[in-house]
Amino acid sequence: MRVKAISARLRTKASGKWLRGNTITLLENGEAFFPALLDAIDAAQQEILLQTYIFATDATGLRVTDALARAAARGVSVRVLVDGFGGLDFVRELMNELSNAGVETLIFRRELRPFSLHRQRLRRLHRKVTVIDGRIAFVGGINIIDDFDAEAPEHPRYDYAVRVEGTLLEPILISSQRLRRQVAWTSLRHRIRGQRSAGVQPTAVGDMRAAFLIRDNLRHRSDIENAYLDAIAHAHEEIVLANAYFFPGRRFRHALLAAATRGVKITLLLQGVADHPMMQYATRALYPVFLENGIRLFEYQRSVLHAKVAVIDHHWATVGSSNIDPFSLMLAREANVAVIDRTFAATLEASLAAAIRDGAVELRREDWARQPIFRRLLCWLAYHTVRLAAGIAGIKSD
């Protein structure tokens, strides 16, 4: 009964409707994601819509580029949308190559002002969504970039995506098409080739219930955050949350603390190897209040943690691109898939447990109290710097 109740409540609050008839496959790290993506691209017959924040010019980016060019050569309509900041190298080195191969390429907010904190500059395309022939979709946090990071070359960047089949393809495709049209209009390219996008007939594949959640600046400003908050508010047993850039606002913090007060077991898996040290230090300023309220904190040390996932009460799970920070939750274009399915949740939960066991270090209250005073001061300085940056950008982070 509890599963049905949460599903009914979330249906009224989340951007996506809960749809039955899906098969959602968890893909851990690029070593699982890229072979699945490349196989699907090579099998495409009608249309490929690929939208990403980073499209690197490394070996992985070149493999994806070659696969997209091959698809275009055999008559597949290939449409790529890349963020103007995350895709700077793509614009310089790969965009013309793909365009010459017959791929339609668009850039989201190409004009940038260096060092600007204006909120328009911070409105990035951060979602990672690919739809192929209206029958397969990939959604998650994995960019088009090599799986191994220079910060930790021995182990792959720790991240997730999902492969989606079934009725959820319809809202994913509609959202992807709408975003592409919006970017085309704003870049004065609204009559690109005059081709019609592929449609999709919502056919059941499997029996999972899932919802496609987006964050945009129109009707879905807070849908991802609200989905998290609603699931946390109704948690009874356990919350496991892994997030790369974790700087929650007051509502999110209070929701976690309220759940801890109810006796819910809460585990947070956060970055230990940082690719953005300022955000990591700012996050650490929040550690004392979580530790004092019985929330367990782990920092992942084997490589850069880039995941944005959660499992609640062993049946609700989400995988996507949205961090728990003001920039993701209030400015960026994001996309998550939420799933109500005990088997999927168990798979993700087991993967997170293995990551904690094999690659993370737990932080305890006494450990934090022994931190040098200069390190604690550095955390508080970073905390207020990030809050100031959010304030300048017009975001209320608290």
Cα–Cα distance, 10 to 226 (Å, whole number): 9
Cα–Cα distance, 94 to 44 (Å, whole number): 21
pLDDT band at 380 (very low <50, low <70, confident <90, very high): confident
3-state secondary structure 183-247: HHHHCCCCCCCCCCCCCCCCCCCCCEEEEEEEECCCCCCCHHHHHHHHHHHCCCCEEEEEECCEC
Active-site positions read 126, 128, 133, 306, 308, 313
Torsion of CA 324, 327, 328, 330, to 10 degrees: 100
pLDDT at position 382 = 82
Cα–Cα distance, 163 to 16 (Å, whole number): 17
Cα–Cα distance, 348 to 332 (Å, whole number): 25
Cα–Cα distance, 30 to 49 (Å, whole number): 19
Q: What is the pLDDT of residues 100-152, one digit of tens each?
A: 999 999 999 875 555 454 545 568 999 999 999 999 999 999 999 999 876 66
Q: What is the pLDDT of residues 13-29, one digit of tens each?
A: 435 699 999 999 999 99
Q: Are 137 and 173 in contact (CB under 8 A)?
A: yes
What H or E segment, with its residue span, contains residue 55? none
